[in-house]
Amino acid sequence: MLAREPTPIGPDRRGAKPPPLELAALDDPGLPKALAEFAAARADAMDPDTVNRELSVVRKAIGWWLRQGWIAADPTFGIERRPSPPDKTKELSLPQVAAVWSLEGVSLRDKTLWRLLYETAARAEEVLCLNVEDLFTADKRGRITAKGGAIEWIHWQSGAAQLLPRLIAGRTEGPLFLTERRASAGTPTMDICPATGRARLSYRRAEEIFEESTRLLAIPLARPEQWDDLQGFTLHRWRHTALTHDAESGTSTPMLLARSRHASVRSLERYARPGVDAVARHVASQDPAARRRN
């Protein structure tokens, strides 16, 4: 948009290369108006979180260019962040979680990743950075580099414990979750398995696989002609679900803080509200007709 060209959307967005741009062009007095129009069109085509994230990124760059004295003004001045209404249906229901476990045709790698993410309630980026040597399988725990760089522990349950030995298959070092093909030239050594030559699975690819695999679970009544346009669950929503189910089961606030590794109780508010299953059970328990039958 800084080059006065529309930003790609949909499949064209992935891998799109931005046009070359001289920073002096950002001081063009006509750019702010043009940029505001492009931003409004972008906001109509994309969700608010995406638009706000892109605006934040470009403003970080512009701020740095201003401090270097390379440009004289901020062409995004006056463009406001889009309001993002809270999604109060983010957590998956227990039947939806069970349906994810029952999906057919899922690889051992993906099945293990999803189970590990749900049982640890860890961030996907943290789990994907795990190496085989970071695992303490006998203790059902692993050592991760958390957000901010701290070294912390995550803990899993029997589901992941049963899958991990099969996934590791005798490997003693290197990335835990691997791509299906050998690493391409230029891949950092730390992201290549020394035993197989395959690369570490990226967050982008892991998110793609989870989203594609869960499309029909997210919109179960969709017609076949709509399947290609459906959007499945996200990995962050999966973490949100794990923490919400923890809260519903009576997990204390200190333990939720330790599980989520948030810095403040305020950060837990969006997870600690009862989910759809908990509300449904409460309503059923208060049903006068049901009480009379009992």
Residue 61: pLDDT over 80:
yes
pLDDT at residue 227, rounded to an integer: 58
Topology adopted by domain 94-278: hpI Integrase; Chain A (1.10.443)
The span from the first CA to the last CA of the chain, in angstroms, equals: 64
pLDDT band at 64 (very low <50, low <70, confident <90, very high): very high
Residue 270: pLDDT over 70:
no
pLDDT, tens digit, 9 for 90 and up, residues 7-31: 777 677 777 888 888 888 899 999 8
How far apart are alpha carbons 95 and 241 in whole angstroms? 12
pLDDT at residue 86, rounded to an integer: 55
pLDDT at residue 138, rounded to an integer: 93
* Rg (alpha carbons) of the chain, rounded to whole number: 23
Listed by start position, the domains of the chain span 1-85, 94-278
pLDDT, tens digit, 9 for 90 and up, residues 223-259: 666 656 667 889 988 998 898 888 888 888 888 888 8
pLDDT at residue 203, rounded to an integer: 94
Ranking 43-57, 82-96, 103-117 by mean pLDDT, the lowest is 82-96
How far apart are alpha carbons 39 and 11 in whole angstroms? 19
Residue 221: pLDDT over 90:
no
What are 234's strand-pairing partners?
none
Rounded to an integer, the average pLDDT of 47-57 is 83
Above pLDDT 90, what percent of the chain?
41
pLDDT, tens digit, 9 for 90 and up, residues 101-160: 999 999 999 999 999 999 999 999 999 999 999 999 999 999 998 877 889 999 999 999
pLDDT at residue 69, rounded to an integer: 93
Q: Which residue has the higher pLDDT, 159 or 271?
A: 159
Task: Note the Cα 261 to chain centre separation in Å.
Answer: 16
CA separation (Å) from 233 to 96, 117, 236, 240, 274? 10, 14, 9, 11, 19
pLDDT band at 167 (very low <50, low <70, confident <90, very high): very high
Task: Note the Cα 252 to chain centre separation in Å.
Answer: 25
Nearest CA to 127 among 201, 199, 190?
Answer: 201
